[in-house]
Chain A
């Protein structure tokens, strides 16, 4: 059974990474084979938190997708982005900095793909008006999205998986990941002029074109905006007040989504189209496959080997997870990577005597996987989405054009994360 579980998992993983088949087909197909061959069963696949589908993750994503589906109808994102571009007075560098910061902040609260889908059209508009190449701007925004998404529990799907497996709360992410992301964003902003050198020349006559954009027109329904804002305040109060209300993030998100559906009056088909059912089913298939590895003891053995390789030294284990995660997340999508690694890290934390060191392992996994998503054009879903948008707009981004910048940025972010983890959890703890 162990051999079958490993073979099915590896085959499915190769199919997902190479995109020879649709990733949903690979994940559900792998899960189906494991169930059919009896490697796992309905009890383990559907009802076990450790060896089956993590319903907390699925329903948290579902709830947030519905909320975002309604929120994006308000036009608030377009308003803020155009307002910022006007404040930049048409300076391409200032436009890039402001749009990337908006993207990073939004990504902390919305999923990265949604953020990119929202910011990319505005960016294309502003660059079109300025008569400049939008490619550097789109690449910078994707990077900001992957960095900003690391800040909170709900910012990036890998964080949602990590939170569910580790038991870390929304506030834990705010206390431990947000400061790191703030530092990363400061460094990122300083690096931008060098990373995209030569991308900021603009005809002064075209600046007026941006200043004439009317951001107020983006908001069609101010009452919907107020309703969305109110529900978001309630939802984030629920996330932050976890210890007070004892409501899981998934329950908070679902209640928030339900409340917003009730008070917004948005037709069902409108907000349901924003639910990415394929992504949710992909997660389900993935969890069943990883669960089979846990059930057959493969994950336990892997954790033992990692423990032996690091010789029980927590700092070495943290750095190993950080660097390996960054490299592998650049090669394969960081969602299946984290889904696989989370049980391994969970096993490793059991051997840690100091809780600070145990938690540092989780933060290393989050930082490595989230920042590593920037390394290549296929490292994260947001990268693929942005490249698709750029292609449709007639501004193709090649794999290497993205990856050249992505590798540099990943190296910088990991170089910042490593001393942060070392100082905070080993020197100062």
Chain B
């Protein structure tokens, strides 16, 4: 069920991570710690959220007052930032499943954590990941 999936570390440059997400149209990235163990999943939506200044999140009407060149500068927010900074401040439960978990177990984790992908591990080692689209593919194929 698991597919090979790119991983990034906590200290990976945020811009590199964003480019990886963009170039391969990924729903998110698996983040590993210094020892290569799964640390968290960085959903692409979280990176998008980081691009939006907090003042625009607080007052969405401010997004309209910026013209196109000003709005384009949002990518500057990734400069000099690592993946660690992109992750939510509050620690969230790691979306991880065992290599022998069933489709419904994987779906339950995704639904509960609202995460577009889960890391698949065996004996603490990452085997790959399952994305929401891969999961749906398997579910539909079963019928």
Give me the interface of A with B, judged by CB distance under 8 Å.
75, 78, 82, 117-118, 120-122, 124-125, 128-129, 209, 212-215, 217-218, 220, 389, 392-394
Q: Give chain A nearest CB distance to B68 CB in angstroms.
A: 10
> Nearest 4 CB-CB pairs, A to B?
A121-B55, A124-B55, A217-B64, A121-B59
Is the Cβ of A393 less than 8 Å from the Cβ of B53? Answer: yes
B62 within 8 A of A: yes
Complex partner residue of B70 from A117, A129, A389, CB under 8 angstroms: A129
Is the Cβ of A217 less than 8 Å from the Cβ of B65? Answer: yes
Q: A78-B62, A120-B58, A220-B61 given as contacts; is B67 within 8 A of A125 (CB)?
A: no
Return chain B residues, CB-CB under 8 Å to A220: 61, 64
Return chain B residues, CB-CB under 8 Å to A392: 54
Question: B residues 26-60 with Cβ under 8 Å of A?
Answer: 53-56, 58-59
Complex CA distance for A218 and B63, rounded to whole angstroms? 9
- Closest B residue to A74 by CB, please name it: B61
Is the Cβ of A212 less than 8 Å from the Cβ of B59? Answer: no
Q: Give chain B nearest CB distance to A220 CB in angstroms.
A: 7
- Closest B residue to A393 by CB, please name it: B54
Complex CA distance for A425 and B133, rounded to whole angstroms? 76
- Closest B residue to A395 by CB, please name it: B54
Return chain B residues, CB-CB under 8 Å to A215: 65
Q: Give chain A nearest CB distance to B123 CB in angstroms.
A: 39
Q: Give chain B nearest CB distance to A189 CB in angstroms.
A: 25
Give me the interface of B with A, judged by CB distance under 8 Å.
53-56, 58-59, 61-62, 64-67, 69-70
Given A124-B54, A218-B64, 4 further pairs, Cβ under 8 A: A128-B53, A217-B65, A218-B61, A218-B62
Complex CA distance for A125 and B58, rounded to whole angstroms? 11
Is the Cβ of A125 less than 8 Å from the Cβ of B55? Answer: yes
Complex CA distance for A82 and B59, rounded to whole angstroms? 13
Is the Cβ of B67 less than 8 Å from the Cβ of A121? Answer: no
Complex CA distance for A215 and B69, rounded to whole angstroms? 16
Return chain A residues, CB-CB under 8 Å to B64: 214, 217-218, 220
Query: Chain B interface secondary structure, helix, strand, loop or mixed?
Result: helix
- Closest B residue to A117 by CB, please name it: B58
Return chain B residues, CB-CB under 8 Å to A209: 70
Complex partner residue of A393 from B55, B65, B70, CB under 8 angstroms: B55
Is the Cβ of A213 less than 8 Å from the Cβ of B65? Answer: yes
Q: Give chain A nearest CB distance to B33 CB in angstroms.
A: 24
Complex CA distance for A139 and B58, rounded to whole angstroms? 18
Complex CA distance for A51 and B104, rounded to whole angstroms? 60
Q: A124-B53, A128-B53 given as contacts; is B67 within 8 A of A214 (CB)?
A: yes
Is the Cβ of B67 less than 8 Å from the Cβ of A212? Answer: yes
Complex CA distance for A215 and B67, rounded to whole angstroms? 11
Q: Give chain B nearest CB distance to A135 CB in angstroms.
A: 14
Complex CA distance for A367 and B61, rounded to whole angstroms? 35
Complex partner residue of B58 from A75, A121, A129, A217, CB under 8 angstroms: A121
- Closest B residue to A82 by CB, please name it: B65
Complex CA distance for A214 and B61, rounded to whole angstroms? 11
Return chain A residues, CB-CB under 8 Å to B70: 129, 209, 212-213
Return chain B residues, CB-CB under 8 Å to A118: 59
Complex CA distance for A392 and B56, rounded to whole angstroms? 12
Return chain B residues, CB-CB under 8 Å to A214: 64-67
Q: A129-B70, A212-B70, A213-B70 given as contacts; is B65 within 8 A of A218 (CB)?
A: yes
Q: Give chain A nearest CB distance to B51 CB in angstroms.
A: 13
Chain A to chain B contacts (Cβ below 8 Å), 26 pairs? A78-B65, A117-B58, A120-B58, A121-B55, A121-B58, A121-B62, A122-B55, A122-B59, A122-B62, A124-B55, A125-B55, A125-B56, A125-B62, A125-B65, A128-B55, A129-B70, A209-B70, A212-B67, A213-B67, A213-B70, A214-B67, A217-B64, A218-B64, A389-B54, A389-B58, A393-B54
Complex CA distance for A132 and B53, rounded to whole angstroms? 15
Return chain A residues, CB-CB under 8 Å to B59: 78, 118, 121-122
Is the Cβ of B61 less than 8 Å from the Cβ of A75? Answer: yes
Return chain A residues, CB-CB under 8 Å to B56: 121, 125
Complex CA distance for A117 and B57, rounded to whole angstroms? 12
- Closest B residue to A73 by CB, please name it: B61
- Closest A residue to B53 by CB, please name it: A128
Return chain B residues, CB-CB under 8 Å to A218: 61-62, 64-65
Complex CA distance for A215 and B65, rounded to whole angstroms? 6
Return chain A residues, CB-CB under 8 Å to B69: 212
Q: Give chain B nearest CB distance to A170 CB in angstroms.
A: 30
Complex CA distance for A209 and B59, rounded to whole angstroms? 19
- Closest B residue to A217 by CB, please name it: B64
Complex CA distance for A393 and B57, rounded to whole angstroms? 10
Q: Give chain A nearest CB distance to B120 CB in angstroms.
A: 34
Q: Give chain A nearest CB distance to B128 CB in angstroms.
A: 35
